[in-house]
Structure 1
Amino acid sequence: MGQESKFIEFDQGWADMQKGISKLKRLLAGEAETPFSTREYMTLYTTIYNMCIQKGPYDHSEQLYNKYKETLEEYITSTVLPSLEEKHDKFMLKELVQRWLNHKLMVKWLVRFFHYLDRYFINRRSLPALNVVGLNCFRVLVYEEMHAKVKDAVLVLIDEEREGEQIDRTLLKNSVAIFVDMGMGEMNRYQNDFEVYLLQGTTSYYSRKAAKWIGEDTCPDYLLKSEECLKKEADRVYNYLHLTSETKLIEKVQHELLVVHITQLLENDHSGIKMDVLCRIYLLYNKISQGLKLVANVFKQHVTAEGTALVQQADAAASNQASNAPSGHEQVFIPKITELHDKYMTYLNSCFQGHSQFQQALKGAFEVICNKTVNGSPGAEILASFADHVLRKGGSEKLGDDDIEERLEKIVKLLDYLIDKDVFAEFYRKKLARRLLFDRITNDDHERSILSKLKLQCGALFTSKMEGMVTDVVLAKENQASFQEYLRNNPDVHPGFDFTATVLTTGFWPSYKSLDIILPTELVKCVEVFKGFYEKKTKHRKLTWIHSLGTCHINGKFEPKQIELIVSIYQASVLLLFNESGRLSYSEILSQLNLTHEDTTRLLHSLSCAKYKILNKEPSSKSISQSDTFEFNPKFTDKLRRIKVPLPPVDDKKKIVEDVGKDRVYAIDAAVVRIMKSRKVIPHQQLISETVEQLSRTFKPDIKAIKKRIEDLITRDYMERDPDQPTMFRYLA
């Protein structure tokens, strides 16, 4: 026989292999065929082995490698593709899944038959492994041809399931797995050929659903539906999609259902904002990137709108009242604002778990609300007026101590939202002065309580003048007791009637207009007696008399009856002139008292044209003219035996704002000098920003004003510009 008989011709060997491959095809087709026995397998394996180890032209390794690929391509072309082309939709998917399963089995068996190629030939030539070639055949011939149809069929089934229909989830899972398998270890096929369309379809589907639901559902119902959809999409991923799709898919659903319609959702008129709804909103949006920021912005807009509506209501109510009557709008407006604040603080803590973004949103909303004007009055003035109403004797609506303390606490909370806290301080100080000087204090403890609260929130500098005022009044009472003791010990210097004087420290109290009036003799004597007492007590202080704050009790002897008149010092000065003259002209009164036309007109109006006509005026009218004459009205009477004759109110709002403006100049100067003293050398921009930061606790400084004060401090040699670097400042000790 010789050695040549051992060589196997290619056609002969391949014919033997074809028998085995044909049997494999019958097995895969489900035909009646016995499985491969170990002997059959070894025979086929040995055939390939022998065909590969032959030398020279009888080494058929390369031909077998090519035949392996041709075998798979022929099987796909003749059997797999025709079976797929005649089926559609889910039937096509079932066929594809089965064909892919068969193909993997076929490759598995062929790889075992051709195993010797993998071990030696492929390694030496650096060729793709048999398994890779096998899978690639399916990808090139089947997948590339069918993946668009497969994708469409899968998406149709997913949408059917979203609409509540029962579908074959196992089929879907196996169909989707093909996209993953075709990536050969990479996710690019799944992502580019399927996932991108899945996400587009998801966006379109939930966009339509959201547009429909937002128009017909209440907020709670909409949220429940959204929650259910998100849960089902996560379940969908778990059951048949790849896990890498979960985050992207959920984000699409969240965006279409929750992000796009957030404003409509939270402003939904069907339900309004309720605690349970807000809690659900917080939990849902907390899972969305930047979701809480979106909710916080809408929350801020909602609170701002509600607060602004209260401002507009108060503004309208105040405007509708008589212009000469005090509106008292703060007595209604501030409680409504505090009630609004309490409501949303509850939401903040209960629904939003005190989250910092919602704290900032609430702060931003109330900064807008509290800094609005009502009937021309800034928020700072309104808040100060309300505080005055709570603390003033007779103005606290018979509230208990605990209720008053609660209101004071809320006032201080609202103060935190005011930008111009210094304006509040000045209005508050003005009203505190009137309470202290005219004995309108309800309770000293409440006065000290609010000052301690203000001090804690705004700093000691904020309340230093106010605390000085309270202390001043205590010392003034002690001083008055000393004066009474002085009068008892010196009966020859008695002023002639009961007289009290309150001595205050100029720096603590608001500034008051002081007229250079010529006082009647009776009042001059009082002033001189007290001056004599005070100069003996101290020689280092000068007394300045503020007659505009003084009050006189005068006995008016009228024909019907005697009435005690409570008037100002200026009104008293006018009335006392009529003890000497029965009839006086406007010009005589003007010259005898040394007053301006404006003040004279105001005083005479209060005594002859207003509620109490203590003086008769000729000619009779409701306004004062410089040609008028006046005489005592002996027939004046009133049902009361004591009446207070009011002066027309003076709007000192403009002066308060001017005083605040002056104080701000000093505050800016002080802040700049403090910073310069600490830093020694500092760039211009840093100096500006640090100055703004220091002052922002009290007011929002104007950058131009800071620059102007810096220039002034340079001219006054507190600081200088660096000659080499004009944007650098140096402190001059």
Structure 2
Amino acid sequence: MADQRNRVIGLDQGWEVLQRGITKLINSLEGRPGDKAFNSDGWSEMYTYVYNMCTQKPPNDHSQHLYDRYKESFEVYIKNTVLPSLREKHGEFMLKELVQRWSNHKLMVRSMSRLFNYLDRFFITRRSLPTLTEVGLTCFRDLVYQEMRNNVKDAVIALIDREREGEQIDRTLLKNILDIFVEIGMGSMDAYEMDFEAAMLQDTAAYYSRKSAKWIEEDSCPGYMLKAEDCLKREKERVGHYLHTSSEGKLLERVQHELLTKCETQLLEKEHSGCHALLRDDKVEDLSRMYRLFLRITRGLEPVAAIFRQHVTDEGTALVKQAEEAASNKKAEKKDVVGAQEQAFVRRVLELHDKYLQYVSECFANHSLFHKALKEAFEVFCNKGVAGSTSAELLATFCDNLLKKGGSEKLSDEAIEDTLEKVVKLLAYISDKDLFAEFYRKKLARRLLFDKSANEDHEKSILTKLKQQCGGQFTSKMEGMVLDLTLARDNQSPFEDYLRENVANNPGIDLTVTVLTTGFWPSYKTADLALPAEMVKCVEVFKEFYQIKTKHRKLTWMYSLGSCNVIGKFSPKSIELIVTTYQAAALLLFNSADRLTYGDIKAQLNLTDEDVQRLLHSLSCAKYKILLKDPATKMVGPNDAFEFNEKFTDKMRRIKIPLPPMDEKKKVIEDVDKDRRYAIDASIVRIMKSRKVLQYQQLVLECIEQLGRMFKPDFKVIKKRIEDLIAREYLERDKDNPNMFRYLA
């Protein structure tokens, strides 16, 4: 060894030694019989030859020549051995041969790189040349890959298509082949993407285009979606088995485009099995699949949501139409029958909302697009009236029926709570929330004042829900009403104590007074009823008690809201009569007179004709004839006379004599219209105060946006309120532009 290091090694002499080693390596790779492979001493000797040939002084430094011959060794081996073996094979056999050749080549590169390692460490580094590994791989790429890539690509794609048709293929072989496309890029994915992936994606698109054209004609919408979902699943698995992970998104996008995007409209609108049919037939599983599939596509869910919105709108509109037809058919029947139908209509709308809210949750994964579609659909038909009643009134009446004693909705406490929750959700779709609030407040007042509320906890519960939905201002008056009733109950005990302590003032009649706060309660008609003496004493004693408690509040007596229990001493038996204060006052007149004319009663009670006619009708012409009317007609007239009916009797010992209900709807609407005018005025002033100068169109839009949570203002009304504010000098028109307004501070 010492002699070898000291003498100069010629290029041809040294290369002859190295070539013998290279030949042994090739024979070993090819499995040819021959000399034994080098042992460690043999490799060490060859490495020393390379070292010495590279470290000799010029002109005997053979580094460049060795670098060139290193490359030539690969080229000769590839041209003489590798390429001929590949050219004679085709299809799957060619692919297997290529995998083996690539494996052998990588092994040869590793071995040769170790042998010529000194070049890598010093010569290549100093000259900034490609490394030995790069040179070896580049030879394979330039000579083998470039020639074979198209054949390989075609063979691989053919195998993939065969697998798509259900054949078993050698997935490991494909994985190894596609690894060559990746590895040959030496850190870049260009070879894989340009030489294989692009063609594979194009073939995939063509394959599924053919399949789609066939399936869309032959299969139902659910059947087609099952196949599409299965194809997407298999393509995803295909990536896991042998394609590069970077292909997954691009591959699935192509499949989705061909199977879903291109035929979405045709698929969704299939006559007997499309989206409409799936919704109609409650095909929950198929709808969930439809959502999963079209969620993958950009804006793919929009047509599904549009069909969903239209379907829900159609179903809701059909409910409104049915209710209208039923109401028109029942007009001749009793009012309570029509009322029951309206209640049933609200119940059906709630059930419809339940059903499709569940669809949004379970089939459409609570996607915002479907929540929006549901909202828009319900806003369409929830704001249609039924039989002359607005949806706001119907919903308020439904709540009243749910919460009052003896309502038709016989439900458990849990069911009532659940229904109240649903009602409040439905209220979100109603534009006239202020109208609902006023109707609800009227009915709440009746429940509270006449002890018709079935459960105080439910009353408080719905107010909490309404507050969360619509804000504190929406429920502030209603909460005040409930508080008033609580305070009134607390006041009753001190009042009774006061009566016991002041026996001389005790009127001898049980009296319960409910003090209401004016701002909380609906406005009621007041009348200066001339109370009978027995009642006057009751009023006076409570005034004295209340003045002791507070001297700064004025009591206004609302006799129209009062009720009395009167004992009627009829000749068959005494009967307790539950009547209003007006009715009681009229009956007590007959304690001192046997016969009274209409004029007498009106004069002594100091009431209007409307009130007198209502109360006398209830006492003489309705179910219970406590008074006898002369003449005995069904209508009360100014020339009638009345007598106490001593012979009246009833199987009950206690009966309630109702007054004919007054039509409150007109007054509620009038009150709401008045409140709306104030709200519009306030909104316009608020906007103009902050903006100072604003165009008409922008002012109207901002006003609608501000008030939209409670009601939708009418354009004409806004225009009228603007004119009124100009007249009252809150605003002024611009002299040059009549559509521009200025705020006047």
Q: Using structure 1 for the length normalisation, give the TM-score.
A: 0.66
> In the aligned structure 1, how far is the partner of 2:574 from the partner of 2:227?
82
Q: How far 1:682 moved relative to its partner? A: 3.8
Relative distance call for 1:624 and 1:282 in structure 2 (3 A) is same
- Give the aligned partner of residue 684 of structure 1: 696
- Identify the match of residue 435 of structure 2 among 414, 423, 426: 423
- Identify the match of residue 321 of structure 2 among 308, 312, 326: 312
- Give the aligned partner of residue 652 of structure 2: 640
Give the match's secondary structure for 1:555. strand
- Give the aligned partner of residue 111 of structure 2: none
- Give the aligned partner of residue 682 of structure 2: 670
Spell out the pairing of 1:252-401 with structure 2 (5 A cutoff): 254=260, 257-260=263-266, 262-263=268-269, 264=271, 265-268=274-277, 272-321=281-330, 322-325=333-336, 327-395=339-407, 399-401=411-413
Q: How far 1:374 moved relative to its partner? A: 2.5
Relative distance call for 1:202 and 1:518 in structure 2 (3 A) is same
- Give the aligned partner of residue 100 of structure 1: none
- Give the aligned partner of residue 98 of structure 1: none
Spell out the pairing of 1:107-122 with structure 2 (5 A cutoff): none
Spell out the pairing of 1:511-590 with structure 2 (5 A cutoff): 511-590=523-602
- Give the aligned partner of residue 655 of structure 1: 667
Q: Deviations over 1:324-371 (max 9, x none)?
A: 336233543333322222221221122212111111101111212322
Is the Cα contact below 8 Å between 1:673 and 1:718 reproduced in 2? yes
Q: Deviations over 1:581-601 (max 9, x none)?
A: 222333333333333333322
Q: How far 1:724 moved relative to its partner? A: 5.7
- Give the aligned partner of residue 220 of structure 1: 222
Q: Deviations over 1:361-414 (max 9, x none)?
A: 011112123222222221111211222223223438564443332222112111
> In the aligned structure 1, how far is the partner of 2:357 from the partner of 2:392?
22
- Give the aligned partner of residue 135 of structure 1: none
Is the Cα contact below 8 Å between 1:230 and 1:253 reproduced in 2? no
> In the aligned structure 2, how far is the partner of 1:580 from the partner of 1:222?
90
**AA at the equivalent of 1:299:** F
> In the aligned structure 1, how far is the partner of 2:613 from the partner of 2:336?
20
Give the match's secondary structure for 1:329. helix
Is the Cα contact below 8 Å between 2:275 and 2:307 reproduced in 1? yes
- Give the aligned partner of residue 51 of structure 1: none
> In the aligned structure 2, how far is the partner of 1:506 from the partner of 1:273?
52
Spell out the pairing of 1:121-520 with structure 2 (5 A cutoff): 210=216, 213=219, 217=220, 219-224=221-226, 251=257, 254=260, 257-260=263-266, 262-263=268-269, 264=271, 265-268=274-277, 272-321=281-330, 322-325=333-336, 327-395=339-407, 399-520=411-532
Give the match's secondary structure for 1:552. strand
Give the match's secondary structure for 1:260. helix
Aligned length: 551
Is the Cα contact below 8 Å between 1:210 and 1:256 reproduced in 2? no
Q: How far 1:640 moved relative to its partner? A: 1.0
Give the match's secondary structure for 2:675. helix
Is the Cα contact below 8 Å between 1:279 and 1:352 reproduced in 2? yes
> In the aligned structure 2, how far is the partner of 1:232 from the partner of 1:400?
51
Q: How far 1:508 moved relative to its partner? A: 0.8
Is the Cα contact below 8 Å between 1:567 and 1:645 reproduced in 2? yes
Q: Deviations over 1:652-671 (max 9, x none)?
A: 11111111111111111222
**AA at the equivalent of 1:594:** N
Give the match's secondary structure for 2:672. helix
**AA at the equivalent of 2:418:** E
Q: How far 1:541 moved relative to its partner? A: 2.9
Give the match's secondary structure for 2:335. coil
> In the aligned structure 1, how far is the partner of 2:251 from the partner of 2:493?
87
Give the match's secondary structure for 2:444. helix
Relative distance call for 1:247 and 1:325 in structure 2 (3 A) is closer
Is the Cα contact below 8 Å between 1:607 and 1:613 reproduced in 2? yes
> In the aligned structure 2, how far is the partner of 1:295 from the partner of 1:448?
40
Q: Deviations over 1:479-513 (max 9, x none)?
A: 33343333333333333411222121111100112
Relative distance call for 1:721 and 1:522 in structure 2 (3 A) is same
Gaps of at least 5 residues in structure 2 are 1-161, 168-193, 195-201, 244-248
Give the match's secondary structure for 1:616. strand
Is the Cα contact below 8 Å between 1:226 and 1:257 reproduced in 2? no
Q: How far 1:319 moved relative to its partner? A: 4.7
- Give the aligned partner of residue 171 of structure 1: none
Is the Cα contact below 8 Å between 1:688 and 1:703 reproduced in 2? yes
Is the Cα contact below 8 Å between 2:530 and 2:605 reproduced in 1? yes
Q: How far 1:289 moved relative to its partner? A: 4.5
> In the aligned structure 2, how far is the partner of 1:406 from the partner of 1:396?
17
Relative distance call for 1:490 and 1:252 in structure 2 (3 A) is same
Relative distance call for 1:250 and 1:493 in structure 2 (3 A) is closer
Q: Deviations over 1:550-569 (max 9, x none)?
A: 10111001111100000011
Gaps of at least 5 residues in structure 1 are 1-160, 167-186, 188-194
Give the match's secondary structure for 1:571. helix
Q: Deviations over 1:77-122 (max 9, x none)?
A: xxxxxxxxxxxxxxxxxxxxxxxxxxxxxxxxxxxxxxxxxxxxxx
Is the Cα contact below 8 Å between 1:206 and 1:256 reproduced in 2? no
Q: Deviations over 1:196-217 (max 9, x none)?
A: xx99x979x978974665xxx4
Q: Indicate the larger mover: 444-453 or 646-655.
A: 444-453
> In the aligned structure 1, how far is the partner of 2:387 from the partner of 2:660?
20
Give the match's secondary structure for 1:268. helix
**AA at the equivalent of 1:280:** R
Q: How far 1:461 moved relative to its partner? A: 1.0
Relative distance call for 1:271 and 1:369 in structure 2 (3 A) is closer
Give the match's secondary structure for 2:628. strand
CA RMSD, aligned part only? 4.3
Is the Cα contact below 8 Å between 1:230 and 1:254 reproduced in 2? no
Give the match's secondary structure for 1:308. helix
Q: Using structure 2 for the length normalisation, give the TM-score.
A: 0.65
Give the match's secondary structure for 1:620. coil
Q: How far 1:725 moved relative to its partner? A: 5.5
